[in-house]
């Protein structure tokens, strides 16, 4: 089974789509696909579909959605059985793919491709390369990981509480990988190449300090010191107005360093909360 969630939802068995068109069965499949090969409790599925006020028929209705998904899986298995069949006793059924467990349901991927798992593997390799000082390798691995995204995760799925939480988690992971890929590119001297991308990013994420720090650094190293300082002032105004916060100590040090044109090295923290390098001449 091949699973894609980093954009539109797409789940295929034997190359045949098993993604339903009805909104609520899509929610069920999306949550099962995100947790493929793990049991998703009935309580989590009900919370996803109906929140805090499920109908009295919630369990029965959920079973109906599961049956609808199994019908789609059965069609896919039947069409692929010419290549997949192993004899009557070894032939997979829809209940082998979407398994009923004592506490919930489990979607069995059968070792297929998952864009989330591939993203996590590539991003992890990129983080380790960063920590080892292999900036070309880190940039390459993280760029490949980010290329798996075609838009917002589960962009075409109506999301309840459970999926909203998962979407936020995936977006945070994406931002972390993006932050580190830009960091690697900065270490490689690709300051001018980053300017257009960072211009878009700081307008999309108006309170994201790391991205603003990277933009300031790229501008400074591209000979645009005044604009780098303007980026800091805009960010500070947004943080104070919207959150009642001043920029972090690391960003303030970067601003002072740019202001004085006095390069010094700031320690780089682990990738989850890295501070930027200050300008170099």
Q: Is the pLDDT of residue 87 over 60?
A: no
Domain that holds residue 93: 2-107
Give the model confidence (pLDDT) of 100-126 as tens digits. 999 999 999 988 999 999 999 999 999
Q: Is the pLDDT of residue 271 over 50?
A: no
Q: What is the pLDDT of residue 81?
A: 63
Q: Which residue has the higher pLDDT, 161 or 267?
A: 161
- Of 51, 85, 107, which closes a domain? 107
- Of 72, 107, 142, which closes a domain? 107
Give the model confidence (pLDDT) of 124-157 as tens digits. 999 999 999 999 999 999 999 999 999 999 999 9
Contact 244, 207 (CB under 8 A): no
- Of 53, 87, 107, which closes a domain? 107
What is the Cα–Cα distance from 154 to 159, expressed in whole angstroms?
8
Examine residue 12 and state whether it is found in any structural domain, yes or no: yes
**Three-state secondary structure readout of the chain:** CEEECCCCCEEEECCEECCCCCHHHHHHHHHHHHCCCCCEEHHHHHHHHHCCCCCCCHHHHHHHHHHHHHHHHHHHHHHHHHHHCCCHHHCCCHHHHEEECCCEEEECCCCCCEHHHHHHHHHHHHHHHHHCCCHHHHHHHHHHHHCCCCCCCCCCCCCCHHHHHHHHHHHHHHHHHHHHHHHHHHHCCCHHHHHHHHHHHHHHCCCCHHHHHHHHHHHHHCCCHHHHHHHHHHHHHHHHHHHCCCCCHHHHHHHHHHHHCCCCCCCCCCHHHCCCCCCCC
CATH number reported for the structural domain that contains residue 272 in this entry: 1.25.40.10
Q: How far is CA 145 from CA 195, 197, 200, 211, in A?
A: 21, 17, 20, 19
Examine residue 239 and state whether it is found in any structural domain, yes or no: yes
Examine residue 134 and state whether it is found in any structural domain, yes or no: no
Residue 2, strand partner residues:
12
Examine residue 49 and state whether it is found in any structural domain, yes or no: yes
What's the chain's Rg over C-alpha atoms? 24
CATH number reported for the structural domain that contains residue 77 in this entry: 1.10.10.10
Examine residue 161 and state whether it is found in any structural domain, yes or no: no
User: Do 195 and 102 share a structural domain?
Assistant: no
Examine residue 207 and state whether it is found in any structural domain, yes or no: yes
Examine residue 72 and state whether it is found in any structural domain, yes or no: yes
At what angle are helices 209-221 and 249-260 packed, to 10 degrees? 10
Give the model confidence (pLDDT) of 9-41 as tens digits. 999 998 999 999 999 999 999 999 999 999 999
What is the Cα–Cα distance from 106 to 232, expressed in whole angstroms?
48
Examine residue 238 and state whether it is found in any structural domain, yes or no: yes
- Give the number of domains in the chain: 2
Residue 13, strand partner residues:
16
Give the model confidence (pLDDT) of 172-213 as tens digits. 999 999 999 999 999 999 999 999 999 999 999 999 999 999
**The residue to which tokens 């069609």 are assigned:** 75
């Amino acid at each position: 089974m091949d699973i894609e969630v980093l954009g539109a939802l797409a789940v295929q068995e034997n190359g045949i789509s098993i993604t339903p068109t009805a909104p609520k069965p899509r929610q069920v499949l999306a949550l099962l696909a995100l947790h493929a090969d793990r049991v998703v409790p009935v309580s989590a599925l009900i919370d996803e579909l109906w929140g805090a006020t499920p109908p009295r028929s919630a369990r029965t209705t959920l079973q109906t959605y599961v049956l609808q998904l199994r019908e789609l899986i059965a069609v896919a298995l039947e069409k692929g059985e010419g290549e997949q069949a192993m004899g009557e006793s070894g032939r997979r059924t829809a209940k082998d793919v979407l398994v009923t467990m004592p506490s919930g349901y489990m979607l069995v991927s059968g070792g297929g491709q998952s864009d989330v798992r591939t993203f996590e593997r590539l991003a992890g390799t990129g983080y380790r390369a960063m920590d080892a000082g292999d900036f070309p390798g880190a940039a390459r691995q993280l760029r490949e990981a980010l290329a798996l995204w075609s838009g917002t995760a589960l962009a075409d799925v109506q999301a309840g509480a459970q999926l909203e939480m998962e979407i936020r988690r995936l977006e945070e992971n994406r931002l972390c990988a993006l932050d580190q890929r830009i960091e690697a590119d900065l270490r490689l001297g690709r300051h001018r190449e980053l300017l257009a991308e960072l211009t878009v990013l700081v307008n999309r994420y108006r309170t994201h300090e790391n991205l603003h720090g990277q933009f300031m650094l790229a501008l400074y190293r591209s000979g645009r010191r005044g604009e780098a300082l303007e980026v800091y002032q805009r960010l500070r105004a947004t943080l104070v107005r919207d959150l009642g916060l001043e920029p972090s100590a690391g960003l303030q040090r970067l601003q002072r360093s740019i202001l004085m044109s006095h390069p010094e090295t700031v320690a780089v923290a682990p990738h989850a909360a890295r501070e930027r390098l200050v300008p170099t001449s």
